[in-house]
Structure 1
Amino acid sequence: MKSPLIWLFAWLLCLGGLAAHPVQAAGDDSLAQIKAKGTLVMGNSPNYPPYEFTVNENGKEKIVGMDIALGKQIAADLGVRLVIKKMSFDSLLVALETGKVDMILSGFSPTPERKAHVDFSANYYVSKQYLIVNKADKGYYQDRHSFSGKKVGAVLGSTAATLVKQQMPGADLTTMENAADLVLALKAHKIDTIVKDSASAIAYAQSDSSLAAMDGKFEVSADEAGNAIALPKGATSLTAAVNKTIAKVQKQDLFNKVYLKDAGKAIAQTNATKSMWHYWPYFAKGVLYTVGISLVAVVIGTLLGALIAFVRLGHLAWLRALATAYVTFVRGTPLMVQVMFIYFGIGMFYDISAVVAGTLAVGLNSAAYVSEVFRGGIDSIAKGQSEAARSLGLSQKDTMRYVVLPQALANIWPALGNEFISLIKETSIVSIIGVADLIYQLRVVQADTYSGVLPITIAMVLYFILTFGLSRLLHHFEKRLHHAA
């Protein structure tokens, strides 16, 4: 089940965008639209082996797995090119409802709650729900009934999380967005077990000798046990075409004969190259995205923040009220919600990329805080300074430019520097919409290597290098500003 915040967010977006995305009638043209544009956009969260995960192929990230193979087959049957759009699992449903993707193929179960918002294909794969435990503890547990009073982990928004609530009374549910985080928590004894799809649970156990997988003996309905493809509400022609491919794949038994074996080979190959050095291109790409987003966001935040500060110090009441409302609203809402609103909300009317949406959201958020820094710095300059400058014949513009601003900038530089440093760390939130920043790459490496602590350590060191280098640079300019003053 999705979190209440995500459901509320999705409902508001859909309510506001009904005109842009009307419910399709029975004779819809969803299939024709896919063929006309020549691409099939597939929403996916590639951290769920063997269904979807990434491998390092010649230094480049490649998404593989059973779901990816099925997605390619569907696109081939439709005569179009498959485009995989990566994002966090908890953002997939919103992406489909707002038109950012054409379908969700990411280990999705057709639960009644989800059916109220989207349509589903026929089940393409059916599996059980397993328990992952530390191998040393395997003898203490039999099935799901053994965990009363224990901490049980599940991926946020997954069928497993719902089953824990329904069929494991007395268990303390812990949900996380990423399966690798749950495995890390299990190995650190922060939780006692993880509930996961059997294929994924077995893959984790085979890849880590300290873990074991066992049948949880859950009572699961056909919908909850099966994985299906989520499609837009009313997209009957597209759903029929997808079902045709699924029937062909099942008739040929491609999952067992081909897809599962190929996924197993990819996992085995990944296990043979678990060295973190093998993944340096991933971390390098993450640093590049993080620095790039931060630099552009700093420019947006500084220019817009300064403009808002001057507006709030001006004499036009309606502009002051508008600027004040902007600052109050932005500072009163989480950055994560702002990122999702810009990406999914604007995406209902204009196709904005995840990188642009994330950068814009971070920049607009920073502007609200930078404006307060500028406003406080200008207010800190004694009014006598301005009065003396005006008495010497300087205009109001020249007074601000040559007298007030240089002194204010020297005063606010430390606070401004802190905002810039915080901005580098805050960019990590854009990973929820699939931007390949440092946090996103950390998740990819965790999923690839089944290693939890080492990728986190590397990312932490890289963030420290970035922030420490920036702090030294800002300190250098601060000394020069005070020297000039």
Structure 2
Amino acid sequence: MQAAENSLEKIKQSGKIVVATSPDYPPYEFQVNKHGENKIAGMDIDVAKQIAKDLHVKLVIKSMKFDSLLVAIETGKADMAIGGINPTSERRQSVDFSNIYYLGGQSFLINKSDSMKFPNQKALQGKLVGAQTGSLQYNLAKTHMANTTIKGMDKTPDLILALKIHKLEAVGVEKPVAKAYASNDNGLTIVPATYKLDKNQVGAAIAFKKNSYMLEDAVNKSIKKIKEGNKIDGYLKDAGKDMKVNTTNTSMWNYSDYFVKGVKYTIFISIVASVLGVLIGITLALMRFTKVKFFHALALCYVEFVRGTPLMVQVMFVYFGIGSIIDISALLAGIIAISLNSGAYVAEIIRGGIDSIDAGQTEAAASLGLPHYDTMRFVILPQAFKNIWPALGNEFISLVKESSIVSIIGVTDLIYQANLVRANTYRGIMPIFVVMVLYFVMTFILTRILNYYEMKMRSPE
């Protein structure tokens, strides 16, 4: 009970409540481009605002992938999570839930051209059906639709795109989401889901860290107030108005601010991670050449471990793992993870460059009385960098593209922004095309700059 009291007291003392959500799920939560300003809106956001108001604290929204929301709660990155989350028995093993504040029901989206072919859920048996990974819709389809191939994807816009290009025959979503897409896309229509479900597990609820009884009780009081005031209908109407704002002009130019912001973050992350990666790489490479066995073994183990694990896992570990001990932002966690990853690869590039230098250079420096440190600094490394410049250039270019992985923890890089545009405009392909062009422009410019300096280094004095 003491821990529960602390959870609520900590929020009141800080003056803010941090709410994790995935703003790509209209009408629950989504980004709206209104009067030149971008903000997160939707029914769930209005619910969160009411809770913050009742607690007399400031509402802070933290964006991330849907399947990371509960992890954020468990690791203390957020006080609560909201996002059309269904309080299933499996999820209750990891987190606690509030009372259900909305019961929307289940539906399938299909292409309107297939409406005669798939008039009901039964007709979808044995077909290719998509659902968001980790969602109730995914588990329901897996459990209740025998002999049906279920395809999971992280983002609802990806599922809708796959549906529209006929990679899927249906997509399972909640009824309000189905209505949102069908009303904004004439090519889609709705097929009702006929699952027989426990109403205590299929409605939308708010997630908390285990044993947060006092916070849960306070939130339930707000939910009771919302229900008694019939405010949900008003929240949905407001969400509908905001969605119309998004779809009034779905040109990519109208969303240029999103892409510009994404480019800025991508460039910033890439530059910082490149500098730190080189510094880490030089350190590790020199450790590999030291005669101290401990440092040599440490560098070797680090390089092998980092190269043997996926970057996505490393990013999540830094943010949720280390971040649960030391409070770090998603941006800083992304930079740290990418820098540490790049450092391992740069270390091997530099080690190869040092090995390529003729041993006579070291002997000549020794004969002149240069100590080992100065020999490495003034003789070996300058020649090594000249030899490995093309390889380092390739690493820098790869870093620009690989930095997109930070979008999984809510860093607003180019990929993250593109996903928001896709969710807001209901256009699946054009935002992807714009992002491809922007990445090409960035890497093309970087390639030209690297080639220029490579030619200068190779040209005679």
TM-score (norm 1): 0.93
Q: How many residues get paired?
A: 461
**Hey, what's the Cα distance between the residues in 2 that align with 1:113 and 1:449?**
33
Query: Which residues in structure 2 correspond to 1:73-222 (within 5 Å)?
Result: 73-222=50-199
Aligned pair partner of 1:371 in 339, 343, 347: 347
Match of 1:20 in 2: none
**Hey, what's the Cα distance between the residues in 2 that align with 1:443 and 1:281?**
14
Match of 1:3 in 2: none
Tell me if the contact between 2:87 and 2:202 (Cα under 8 Å) persists in the aligned partners: no
Unaligned runs of 5+ in 1: 1-23
For residues 148-169 of structure 1, the C-alpha deviation after alignment (integer angstroms, 9 at most, x for no partner) is 3311000011000000101111
State the identity %: 51
Distance 1:26 1:418, change over 3 A: closer
Paired amino acid for 1:304: I
In the alignment, structure 1 residue 33 sits paired with structure 2 residue 15? no
Tell me if the contact between 1:25 and 1:234 (Cα under 8 Å) persists in the aligned partners: no
Tell me if the contact between 1:159 and 1:224 (Cα under 8 Å) persists in the aligned partners: no
**Hey, what's the Cα distance between the residues in 1 that align with 2:202 and 2:320?**
30
In the alignment, structure 1 residue 408 sits paired with structure 2 residue 384? yes
Tell me if the contact between 1:154 and 1:182 (Cα under 8 Å) persists in the aligned partners: yes
Match of 2:232 in 1: 255
For residues 401-455 of structure 1, the C-alpha deviation after alignment (integer angstroms, 9 at most, x for no partner) is 3332222112111110000000000110000110000000000100110001000
Q: Structure 1 residue 28: deviation in Å?
A: 2.8
Tell me if the contact between 1:90 and 1:157 (Cα under 8 Å) persists in the aligned partners: yes
Match of 1:6 in 2: none
In the alignment, structure 1 residue 302 sits paired with structure 2 residue 278? yes
Paired amino acid for 1:430: V
For residues 21-64 of structure 1, the C-alpha deviation after alignment (integer angstroms, 9 at most, x for no partner) is xxx55863322221111101101000000000011123332100
Paired amino acid for 2:448: R
In the alignment, structure 1 residue 292 sits paired with structure 2 residue 292? no
SS class of match (1:123): coil
Q: Structure 1 residue 385: deviation in Å?
A: 2.3
Distance 1:454 1:27, change over 3 A: closer
**Hey, what's the Cα distance between the residues in 2 that align with 1:267 and 1:28?**
39
SS class of match (1:106): strand
**Hey, what's the Cα distance between the residues in 2 that align with 1:55 and 1:26?**
37
In the alignment, structure 1 residue 419 sits paired with structure 2 residue 419? no
In the alignment, structure 1 residue 341 sits paired with structure 2 residue 317? yes
Distance 1:33 1:396, change over 3 A: closer
Match of 1:447 in 2: 423
Aligned pair partner of 1:356 in 332, 339, 342: 332
Match of 1:321 in 2: 297
Match of 2:255 in 1: 279
Unaligned runs of 5+ in 2: none
In the alignment, structure 1 residue 384 sits paired with structure 2 residue 355? no
For residues 434-483 of structure 1, the C-alpha deviation after alignment (integer angstroms, 9 at most, x for no partner) is 00000000001001100010000000000000001001100011111112
Aligned pair partner of 1:396 in 358, 372, 375: 372
For residues 99-123 of structure 1, the C-alpha deviation after alignment (integer angstroms, 9 at most, x for no partner) is 0000011110000011011111000
Tell me if the contact between 1:59 and 1:279 (Cα under 8 Å) persists in the aligned partners: no
Paired amino acid for 2:175: S
Paired amino acid for 1:473: I
In the alignment, structure 1 residue 47 sits paired with structure 2 residue 24? yes
Please identify, of 217-226 and 126-135, the stretch whose mean Cα deviation from structure 2 is larger.
217-226
**Hey, what's the Cα distance between the residues in 1 that align with 2:236 and 2:325?**
39
Match of 1:17 in 2: none
Match of 2:457 in 1: 481
SS class of match (1:110): coil
Paired amino acid for 1:164: A
Match of 2:409 in 1: 433
Tell me if the contact between 1:301 and 1:366 (Cα under 8 Å) persists in the aligned partners: yes
Paired amino acid for 2:92: K
Tell me if the contact between 1:28 and 1:234 (Cα under 8 Å) persists in the aligned partners: no
Q: What CA RMSD, in Å, does the superposition of the two structures yield over aligned residues?
A: 1.3
Q: Structure 1 residue 392: deviation in Å?
A: 3.9
For residues 303-353 of structure 1, the C-alpha deviation after alignment (integer angstroms, 9 at most, x for no partner) is 110011011011110011111111111111111111111111122222101
Paired amino acid for 2:27: P
SS class of match (2:390): helix
Query: Which residues in structure 2 correspond to 1:2-41 (within 5 Å)?
Result: 25=2, 28-41=5-18
Tell me if the contact between 1:60 and 1:281 (Cα under 8 Å) persists in the aligned partners: no
Please identify, of 74-83 and 51-60, the stretch whose mean Cα deviation from structure 2 is larger.
51-60
Q: Structure 1 residue 146: deviation in Å?
A: 1.3
Tell me if the contact between 2:88 and 2:202 (Cα under 8 Å) persists in the aligned partners: no
Match of 1:21 in 2: none
Distance 1:477 1:150, change over 3 A: same
Q: Structure 1 residue 394: deviation in Å?
A: 3.5
Q: Structure 1 residue 380: deviation in Å?
A: 1.0
**Hey, what's the Cα distance between the residues in 2 that align with 1:411 and 1:26?**
58
Match of 1:5 in 2: none
Distance 1:26 1:96, change over 3 A: closer
Distance 1:402 1:237, change over 3 A: closer
**Hey, what's the Cα distance between the residues in 2 that align with 1:277 and 1:108?**
33
Q: Structure 1 residue 398: deviation in Å?
A: 3.4
**Hey, what's the Cα distance between the residues in 1 that align with 2:200 and 2:89?**
8
